[in-house]
Structure 1
């Protein structure tokens, strides 16, 4: 039977007189331009006949998709979110008599070209029974702004620890811990500013096309926060 090995000494939570500990927090707040913008497109149809309502919805949905796709690489993502065909019953008389049918398709588009964005939103709003909501400005998940904020937060923590040590007439000796609080936040989609919703309920005349909207991208706020713990040489307190 092997003799028991001596337990390693546990670190003292608040350091020792021979190796005092400094605990600091580093933060970074960056304001950067957005990289992408999202818009929501809702295509609607309504009619007394279910088949004609579906045909109208299919035609208008195809027109909206073709228009968005015509912008090529400016559109990074295009997705259909929902499709509904709903019968509406009459309120009078006996029995379940259908008075009309409602159809709706939801589309989401993500663009990186903000000049094309202003033109596209205007042209979409000129389509029949088509509504546009947005834009929601955002950064990509792998944006360099997130890395820059984290690195700046670390540099601030180190600088702050150096300043505390210098105030005591000593210097740092080792880094004990660096904890990422995961506080970087690009403020995407839900809280971003919105463009006023637009709805068109009839096709625009060919010679009366609306001018493109001039959209001002909303600045994005990136926040990073770290906790760091260092040891320092014993200071002379007298």
Structure 2
């Protein structure tokens, strides 16, 4: 780390910035589960429910950006301690869905939740990996660091001379979930009222911080 001198005083400042923005992507997790006494029947039920879910998701076309399927598992569910006899089987497979058309999201989640052997988690909200928003926030954090440094320099009656170092302190984007809204939808389905889930888009808080180190032109400290 460079130390300041009387001829080149060192000034270190922190710049922070944050912005609220609309989400760009919604993630929905779909779990397909089946259980029974016969392994083959469990596998057949699991395959059938998984196919129905995938077909439904595919019917939404470009509203769905990407679908990913996790590994399928079928395993013994219960074993008697004395003989080790298998009493039943459980099977599960997970489907991940990325949705970019939020006008179709509520209906898609609702229809998935109505399928047999299906449970739905989400949505969770994100920005795209190539979203310009984090870059805008980082630039704002740099501008804030420069502004603060100039204020300190001005208070000393001098100006900034050179930038020695700029480090990224990181940042994060808030990703709120809509669990409460989905819980309400689950109760509605059980009561035979299959109205599409009305999702309210949250605001994501994106923040960034930098630390900047400058040298100053030697100030005059005479009173």
Interval containing the TM-score (normalised by the shorter chain): 0.7 to 0.9
1:187 deviation in Å?
3.4
2:212 is the counterpart of 1:228: yes
Indicate the residue corresponding to 1:169 in structure 2. Answer: 157
Indicate the residue corresponding to 1:77 in structure 2. Answer: 66
Distance in 1 separating the partners of 2:110 and 2:16: 41
Task: Rate the CA distance shift 1:74–1:60 in 2: closer, same or farther, 3 A.
Answer: same
Unaligned runs of 5+ in 2: none
Indicate the residue corresponding to 1:186 in structure 2. Answer: 173
1:194 deviation in Å?
3.8
The 5 A counterparts of 1:91-170 are 91=80, 95-170=83-158
1:91 deviation in Å?
4.1
1:166 deviation in Å?
1.1
Which of 1 and 2 has greater Rg? 1
Distance in 1 separating the partners of 2:74 and 2:117: 15
2:8 is the counterpart of 1:19: yes
Instruction: Please provide the CA RMSD for this pair.
Output: 2.4
8 Å Cα contact 1:25/1:157 also seen in 2: yes
2:44 is the counterpart of 1:60: no
1:157 deviation in Å?
0.7
With the length of structure 1 as denominator, give the TM-score of the two structures: 0.82
Indicate the residue corresponding to 1:5 in structure 2. Answer: none
Unaligned runs of 5+ in 1: 1-10
2:40 is the counterpart of 1:51: yes
2:197 is the counterpart of 1:213: yes
Distance in 2 separating the partners of 1:225 and 1:115: 34
With the length of structure 2 as denominator, give the TM-score of the two structures: 0.87
8 Å Cα contact 2:80/2:86 also seen in 1: no
Task: Rate the CA distance shift 1:97–1:19 in 2: closer, same or farther, 3 A.
Answer: closer
